[in-house]
Amino acid sequence: MGSSTHLASPEPLLPSFSDQTPHHVYLALHTSTGISPLPQAVNTGVHRVSLVLLHTCDHVSWSSRLYCDALAKTHARPKSQAVLLMGLLRALWDHQASYDDIPLILHIPDSALVTSLRSPPTSSASEVTAWLNETVQLFLSPLVSLRHSPPVSVLLPNPQPSELGMHLAQAYAASGVSPLSPSPPFTETSFTVHPLGECFPVGALRDSWTWRDLLTRDPLLVPLEQRVQSLRRLQAQRTRDLDRASRGDPPICEDVTLHFAAKVLDLSYLPQGSRSHYEKLLHERHWSIGHNSCKEDSTASERRALLTCSLCSSPDRCEDDTYDHVFRLCPSPLPCTSVGCH
């Protein structure tokens, strides 16, 4: 297990109410890859996870907590249901610590998750999801109501209270800032931002064990095998880069040019003829750029000169002038500096 200061003693952070009005908690999850169209298209880069728990009793006063984190592309990514189950566990734990007999209504955006909580499945695709599902089941009581409230991207005039809550929760998760203006009719009692690991209430683990990440000390939201494989892959890449650096070779950068072009052209949905045509053009442009300029040369030396990278050419080095070489392998200081800045 190990020790962790911010996880060992969770504190009730919910607002207090004097009457028996049902307490509503709206959950919203937002994930994105990278901060530019290229990483998002090829699904590489930093993976951002934002989970929001939006609390209210009258749908006028709101209290929000945003749990967010950024995962490196080499790390295994948690399933959306696992993150939502962790948010449900936090809401149930805080409700149990803050209230006596006040009804709690949980608004969940995933209908399959609501069904699995009402009728636990016999098997699950992930042992982490199954374990979290069983843990949440221990905190469900007649005072707790589970409702499926789909996300609302556009808020229409005169919305239902659940539509308003889900719209605000999704806006919190997507932007990371408060969507509420200081003017009436809505008021924001609190808005706090926490690391994603703090959403997990370790105090809710009654006589049970859970795996912790050795680096972050947070509970694992992915299967142990996936986390071990990602760490081994990261160590292998570091060893490779150190070996290349010791030999004076530049680091190998990941090539996503063809993946990005395939996404932009939507090749998977094109007819076979059009897809073959574009694949041929992409291959030639990527690996044979500049070769058309040497078709009229009469001697082999002139042809070789036009096909050689002018940035790193030397008497003992002759590399093809292709996109792959310029963007990934060229040892010239100029492209190496550009690659290191991204």
Both 93 and 209 in one domain: the answer is: yes
Please state, rounded to an integer, the average pLDDT across all residues of the chain.
Answer: 75
Residue 163 lies in a domain: yes
Both 15 and 92 in one domain: the answer is: yes
CB of 102 closer than 8 Å to CB of 208: no
pLDDT of residue 180: 78
Mean pLDDT of the 151-157 span: 85
Both 171 and 285 in one domain: the answer is: no
Both 162 and 307 in one domain: the answer is: no
Q: Which residue has the higher pLDDT, 322 or 63?
A: 63
The one-character DSSP state at 295 is T
Before 185, cis peptide (omega within 30)? yes
Asked if the model's pLDDT at residue 107 lies above 60, the reply is yes
Distance separating alpha carbons of residues 13 and 278, to the nearest angstrom = 56
Both 81 and 207 in one domain: the answer is: yes
Both 168 and 104 in one domain: the answer is: yes
Quote the domain boundaries for residue 81: 5-230
pLDDT of residue 282: 67
Mean pLDDT of the 321-342 span: 64
Give the residue from 196, 230, 264 where a domain finishes. 230
Residue 238 lies in a domain: no
Strand partners, 190: 63
84 band by pLDDT with thresholds 50, 70 and 90: very high
pLDDT of residue 286: 57
pLDDT over 90, % of the chain: 15
70 band by pLDDT with thresholds 50, 70 and 90: confident
Cβ-based neighbour number of residue 51 at 10 Å = 26
Both 186 and 280 in one domain: the answer is: no
Task: Give me the number of domains the chain comprises.
Answer: 2
The CATH code of the domain that includes 134 is 3.30.420.10
Q: Which residue has the higher pLDDT, 123 or 117?
A: 117
In total, the chain counts a number of residues equal to 342
Residue 221 lies in a domain: yes
Q: Which residue has the higher pLDDT, 339 or 27?
A: 27
Q: Which of 61-65, 144-148, 155-159, 279-283 has the lowest mean pLDDT?
A: 279-283
What single string gives the DSSP state of each residue in 280-291? HHHHHHHHSTTG
Confidence (pTM)? 0.63
pLDDT over 70, % of the chain: 61
Buried b (16+ CB within 10 A) or exposed e, 171-210: bbbbeeeebeeeeeebeeeebeebebbbbbbbebeeeeee
pLDDT in tens, 159-182: 898 999 999 999 898 888 888 766
> Phi and psi of 98, rounded to 5°?
-110, -25
Mean pLDDT of the 313-324 span: 62
Q: Which residue has the higher pLDDT, 96 or 298?
A: 96
Residue 295 lies in a domain: yes
Amino acid sitting at position 21: T
